[in-house]
Amino acid sequence: MKKIFIFICSIALFSQCSISYKFTGASIDYTKVKTMSVAVFPNEAPLVADPGLSQAFTEGLKDYFMKQTRLDLKENNGDLQFEGEITDYTIKPQSIQADMTAAQTRVTMKVNVRFMNTTDPEQDFEKSFSAYVDFDSSENFESIKETIREELLDQIFEDIFNESVANW
């Protein structure tokens, strides 16, 4: 009899509680926010060392959010809206060796992002995000450009995601 009482109490207790785990870290109210849109991020950097960067950034940002959330993608006017521009892309030597050559080279990328949350305008922001990747100067940049691009974009996408929907 005691076991039945505990069993019934357990069912009553757990039916009243709901626990929600968010493995992505997103805190989106899906009853209000259902869609997102990403405008093209033009490459306005003084150095255009990667001509495909604008398209890769724009499509990559869409993909990142589609994988991390349940939002539907709209062409424009989503509940969450992202727009901006790539403002800088630099390739600079980092650590100089005794023979006056660079041992490391740093690639830095900066992106200006304007975020609008049409359901909660207090969440809106305009902010610059940046990331860098160092590589051995003996490597040919052209042969590792894709890998560097992926690393830069992943860092920036994560930062944009955390700033816009993770609410940390």
**pLDDT above 90 as % of the chain:** 65
Between residues 127 and 1, which one has the greater pLDDT? 127
Between residues 167 and 104, which one has the greater pLDDT? 104
Instruction: Give the pLDDT confidence of 84-140 residue by residue, as tens digits.
Output: 999 999 999 887 776 667 789 999 999 999 999 999 999 999 999 999 999 998 899
Instruction: Report the pLDDT averaged over residues 141-164.
Output: 95
pLDDT given for residue 2 in this prediction: 57
Please determine, for residue 24, whether its predicted confidence score (pLDDT) is greater than 50: no
pLDDT band with cut points at 50, 70 and 90 for residue 68: very high
* Fold entry, domain 28-166: Double Stranded RNA Binding Domain (3.30.160)
DSSP string covering the chain: -HHHHHHHHHHHHHHH------TT-----TTT--EEEE----B--S--S-TTHHHHHHHHHHHHHHHHS-PEE-SS--SEEEEEEEEEEEEEE-SB-TTS-BSEEEEEEEEEEEEEETT-GGG-EEEEEEEEEEEETTS-HHHHHHHHHHHHHHHHHHHHHIIIII--
Task: Pick the range with the lowest mean pLDDT from 8-17, 79-88, 143-152.
Answer: 8-17
